[in-house]
């Protein structure tokens, strides 16, 4: 007999197994073994006729949920049941948070062990931590379970009640979520502000001065005793000058005249000032601050950050990565201070150990911040980690060590100079003692380089000095609209508003991108027209559900349920039932919402109406008695749509496309058009005889008005044959693809070798020699050699299980076995535990995996067909009281709570 330890993942199981005696058997549950039904197929036949079944929660009987074992978890459950037969004790060792507590509770309910049961929790996977946890087991915390279950039910109630309403009123496949809809609204509100913003201009002067052959710069500060306008004097939301500001606003002509007047006049130093200041190190990482800083410093998305951090935790490198506390244990403080003394010297150590207090709402101080694991922190370059794992571990190591370092001592320098009636100010900064800067500067990858940037040295200046002016320049400025959210700034806002939990932010951002509410452009989250329509509907009819204050109060209630201060059932009843409950609100508004109004988007200063159609957004404008419509290109955002662009789209629709010229060889006209996927050139007209004339998209950055006849002819001639490869003799070609311009070497039976062109390369002029240079470089990017996502190691052979992108979409690969993603799963939602049964099924069948095939119609719309019958899930009812079902749920493809917001 043995003691059975159950954890969530194979990686965690392997690491823990090293720290337990030989008679302990460690198995992985692969995450949750039960959940609410994900589709109608998973609902047991006995419950399909219930009138509450569409929710999967019996709201008529104490909000009892039905928990079923998904098809993909059947094998895992059987293995755990088999392992249980040989165990004389069960230890549930899932994560320490609410989700981990819930997994343990589900395992207990499902397995029904007859042997003693213990709940084991730990914050890090080290030998000392595991042994300590083993000696201090406890029982399952029912309050934590209720909190997680309440959150899961809330997500289901909101998603499955509001999403069908959006399908009926706006478009099929949309979804609403308790937290995701608030996040989308924040992004839409920022875009509205950008659209309403009116750019204002202002000018100033910058002087190049010299004192004792030491150059320095100064900027105009006041004119005739009145402060010169700077960016802070303008309203950041409107762009207009703030009404209570008494400032001088110079235009270009005034700035030039002032420059000419001051040139050649004597300068004098009239005041100098030095202000000492102290910079304190940032606290150690929480989940949200790690996501923010990894995004800023490493360029890693929130999802990838959590993915890498999960791996580091499970392999024993860092402590648990889902936390909102900045507290450090005494052993962590000691380890960090030891690192400081060894790596940087005693003078860089803070005089006393530092502890930090969490300021975010609902923080759980009992937890610990994210830090390197163990009583001694492993030096990053001695860990054997590579690439992203090393980069993220190093970031965590530096932040933790820096928080125990001495404060940085800085002196701010200010010099005021006068020339006639104008005063100029020169600013400088001197680092007297770098302190923690030596290890870590927030937002910078290189502390040494950042240290240099922190200092701005001024020459020694005193009152009465007369520096010489070498040059005076006029500098124009324009007020800028509020910046779009990045992942980092959205995470920061959600946390400060108390919306959602830090552990859910990565999945929330992934969900709103996958749902088509947001596009990621140059790290900025840009809302789509669909997002505008959905947010407007929710604001008009369900304002509480997209209000940050209301959602924050929901989180507080869940926190109170977790500690036993609030009862979960009365809270759910108040939220969903009764006259003011969500269920009745939806019923009442069902007939009040006009789909024609819901699909329309009001944009300021735009004569055309914007609507959401079956194939995406389009503009509609009356011309006489006729209504003209035109599709809006996918890359055009609500903030960027202006009257000029509307005019271009309508002109193309009413007058036909712009003609660039006539093809010199065929004599056919060449047109420039704008389609749903952007501008392109077309050879000849589309007729009954020529339904698909040759078309080529314009390269990125090329505007329709910049297209010449020569360029158009060259684009239509793609692909270009550059010549034979000197080794294979096979042709090398240049062309444009969905990911931009590229060169390709056709190697015959060995396949094709692709390389993307670089910024300086032109697909129309690139030479054979340049193509050979590119092909000689190591291959990177989206090819099958580089996985989109690393899911982990297969528990049977320890070989990697990865996601790749193929010609028919994303697929799972393990060795020689490839498996398609099932309906409803995406790159973001698929996990190792979900992938393993799919690979096993594919390996057993030995058949080709069916894939989705996407084709493009003549109108540019997409059709998707799938040659795969949906498998019927088998529901499994337990003996617990919480056993209910739902009759019919949306298909997985549009499952509104597919990406759960629970944590």
- Give the active site residues: 320
Using an 8 Å Cβ cutoff, are 316 and 124 in contact?
yes
Q: For residue 851, how far is the Cα from the chain centroid?
A: 27
**Cis amide linkage into residue 719, ω under 30° from 0:** yes
Long-range CB contact pairs, 513-521, < 8 A, 24+: 514/826, 514/828, 514/899, 515/174, 515/175, 515/180, 517/184, 517/187, 518/184, 518/187, 519/637
Using an 8 Å Cβ cutoff, are 166 and 159 in contact?
no
The bridge status of strand 87-92 relative to strand 2-7 is parallel
- Residue-wise DSSP of 236-301: TTT-SBPTT---B-B-HHHHHHHHHHHTT---EEEEEEEEEEEEPPPPPB-HHHHHHHIIIII---
* CA distances to 98, 199, 553, 868 from 238, in Å: 43, 8, 30, 52
* Terminal C-alpha separation, the chain: 35
Q: CB count, 10 Å around CB of 430? A: 16
C-alpha 221/C-alpha 228 separation (Å) is 5
Using an 8 Å Cβ cutoff, are 358 and 161 in contact?
no
The one-character DSSP state at 704 is G
Using an 8 Å Cβ cutoff, are 375 and 330 in contact?
no
Nearest Cα to Cα of residue 545 among 170, 177, 191, 173: 177
As beta bridge partners, residue 800 has 793
Using an 8 Å Cβ cutoff, are 203 and 477 in contact?
yes
- Within 752-895, where are the H helices? 768-776, 832-845
Residues in the chain: 903
List Cβ neighbours of 318 (8 Å cut-off, separation of 6 or more): 124, 309, 312, 370, 371, 372, 373, 393, 396
Using an 8 Å Cβ cutoff, are 880 and 102 in contact?
no
* CA distances to 56, 66, 107, 734 from 44, in Å: 11, 9, 20, 56
Nearest Cα to Cα of residue 736 among 712, 778, 708, 764: 764
Using an 8 Å Cβ cutoff, are 655 and 671 in contact?
no
Q: For residue 517, how far is the Cα from the chain centroid?
A: 13
As beta bridge partners, residue 697 has 680
C-alpha 5/C-alpha 501 separation (Å) is 28
C-alpha 367/C-alpha 322 separation (Å) is 9
Q: What are the backbone angles phi and psi of residue 90, rounded to the nearest 5°?
A: -115, 130
Using an 8 Å Cβ cutoff, are 771 and 741 in contact?
no
Angle at which helix 387-402 crosses helix 302-314, to 10 degrees, equals 80
Using DSSP's 3-state secondary structure scheme, residue 427 falls into strand
Angle at which helix 529-541 crosses helix 142-169, to 10 degrees, equals 110
C-alpha 388/C-alpha 867 separation (Å) is 37
What's the number of CA atoms in the CB half-sphere (13 Å) around residue 7? 19
């Amino acid at each position: 007999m043995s003691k059975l330890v159950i954890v969530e993942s194979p990686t965690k199981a392997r690491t823990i197994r090293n720290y337990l005696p030989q008679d302990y058997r460690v198995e992985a549950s692969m995450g949750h073994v039960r959940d609410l039904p994900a589709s109608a197929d998973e609902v047991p036949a006995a419950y399909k006729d219930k009138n509450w079944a569409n929710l999967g929660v019996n709201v008529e009987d104490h909000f009892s949920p039905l928990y079923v074992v998904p098809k993909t978890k059947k094998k895992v459950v059987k293995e755990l049941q088999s392992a249980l037969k040989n165990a004389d004790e069960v230890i549930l060792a899932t994560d320490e948070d609410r989700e981990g507590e819930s997994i343990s509770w589900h395992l207990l309910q499902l397995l029904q062990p007859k042997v003693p049961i213990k709940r084991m929790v730990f914050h890090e996977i080290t030998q000392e931590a595991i042994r300590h946890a083993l000696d201090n087991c406890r029982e399952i915390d029912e309050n934590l379970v209720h909190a997680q279950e309440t959150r899961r039910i809330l997500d289901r109630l909101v998603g499955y009640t509001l999403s069908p309403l959006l399908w009926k009123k706006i478009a099929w496949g949309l979804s609403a979520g308790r937290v995701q809809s608030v996040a989308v609204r924040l992004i839409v509100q920022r875009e509205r502000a950008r659209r309403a913003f009116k750019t204002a201009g202002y000018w100033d002067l910058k002087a190049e001065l010299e004192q004792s052959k030491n150059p320095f710069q100064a900027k105009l500060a006041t004119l005739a005793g009145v402060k010169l306008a700077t960016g802070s004097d303008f309203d950041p939301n409107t762009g207009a000058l703030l009404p209570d500001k008494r400032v001088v606003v110079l235009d270009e002509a005034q700035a030039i005249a002032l420059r000419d007047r001051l040139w050649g006049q004597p300068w004098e130093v009239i005041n100098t000032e030095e202000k000492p200041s102290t910079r304190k190190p940032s606290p150690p990482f929480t989940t949200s601050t790690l996501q923010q800083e990894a995004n800023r410093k490493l360029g890693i998305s929130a999802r990838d950050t959590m993915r890498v951090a999960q791996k580091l935790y499970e392999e024993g490198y860092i402590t648990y990565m889902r936390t909102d506390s900045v507290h450090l244990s005494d052993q962590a403080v000691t380890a960090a201070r030891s690192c400081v003394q060894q790596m940087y010297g005693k003078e860089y150590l803070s005089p006393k150990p530092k502890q930090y207090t969490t300021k975010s709402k609902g923080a759980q101080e009992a937890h610990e911040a994210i830090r390197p694991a163990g009583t001694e922190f492993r030096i990053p370059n001695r860990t054997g980690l590579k690439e992203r794992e090393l980069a993220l571990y190093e970031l965590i190591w530096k932040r933790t060590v820096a928080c125990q370092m001495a404060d940085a001592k800085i002196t701010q320098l200010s010099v005021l100079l006068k020339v006639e009636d104008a005063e100029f100010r020169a600013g400088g900064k001197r680092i007297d003692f770098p302190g923690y800067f030596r290890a870590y500067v927030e937002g910078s990858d290189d502390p040494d380089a950042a240290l240099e940037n922190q200092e701005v040295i001024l020459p020694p200046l005193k009152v009465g000095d007369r520096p010489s002016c070498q040059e005076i320049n006029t500098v124009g400025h324009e007020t800028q609209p509020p910046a779009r959210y990045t992942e980092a700034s959205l995470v920061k806002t959600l946390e400060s508003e108390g919306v959602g939990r830090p552990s859910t932010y990565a999945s929330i951002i992934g969900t709103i991108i996958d749902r088509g509410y947001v596009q990621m452009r140059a790290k900025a989250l840009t809302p789509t027209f669909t997002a505008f329509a959905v947010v407007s509907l929710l604001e008009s009819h369900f304002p509480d559900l997209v209000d940050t204050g209301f959602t924050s109060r929901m989180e507080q209630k869940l926190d109170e349920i977790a500690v036993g201060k609030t009862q979960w059932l009365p809270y759910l009843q108040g939220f969903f039932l009764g006259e003011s409950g969500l269920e009745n609100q939806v019923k009442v508004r069902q007939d009040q919402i006009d789909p024609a109004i819901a699909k329309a988007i009001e944009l300021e200063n735009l004569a055309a109406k914007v609507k959401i159609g079956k194939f995406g957004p389009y503009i509609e404008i009356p011309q006489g008695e006729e209504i003209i419509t035109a599709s809006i290109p996918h890359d055009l955002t609500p903030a960027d749509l202006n009257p000029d662009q509307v005019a271009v789209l309508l002109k193309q629709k009413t007058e036909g496309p712009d003609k660039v010229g006539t093809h010199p060889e065929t004599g056919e006209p060449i047109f420039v058009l704008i389609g749903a996927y952007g501008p392109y050139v077309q050879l000849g007209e589309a007729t009954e005889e020529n339904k698909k004339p040759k078309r080529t998209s314009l390269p990125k950055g090329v505007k329709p008005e910049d297209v010449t006849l020569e360029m158009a002819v060259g684009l239509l001639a793609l692909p270009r044959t550059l010549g034979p490869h000197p080794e294979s003799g096979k042709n090398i070609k240049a062309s444009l693809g969905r990911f931009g311009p590229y060169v390709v070497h056709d190697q015959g039976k060995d396949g094709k070798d692709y390389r993307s062109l670089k910024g300086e390369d032109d697909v129309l002029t690139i030479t054979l020699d340049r193509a050979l240079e590119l092909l000689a470089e190591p291959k990177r990017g989206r090819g099958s050699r580089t996985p989109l996502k690393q899911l982990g190691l297969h528990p049977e052979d320890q070989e990697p299980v990865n996601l790749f992108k193929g010609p028919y979409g994303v697929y799972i690969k393990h060795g020689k076995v490839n498996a398609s993603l099932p309906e409803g799963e995406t790159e973001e939602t698929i996990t190792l535990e979900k992938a393993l049964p799919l690979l096993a099924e594919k390996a057993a069948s030995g058949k080709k995996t069916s894939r989705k095939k996407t084709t493009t119609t003549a109108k540019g719309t997409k059709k998707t067909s799938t040659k795969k019958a949906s498998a019927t899930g088998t529901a499994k009812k337990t003996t617990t009281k919480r056993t209910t079902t739902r009759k019919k749920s949306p298909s997985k493809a549009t499952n509104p709570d597919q990406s759960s917001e629970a944590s």
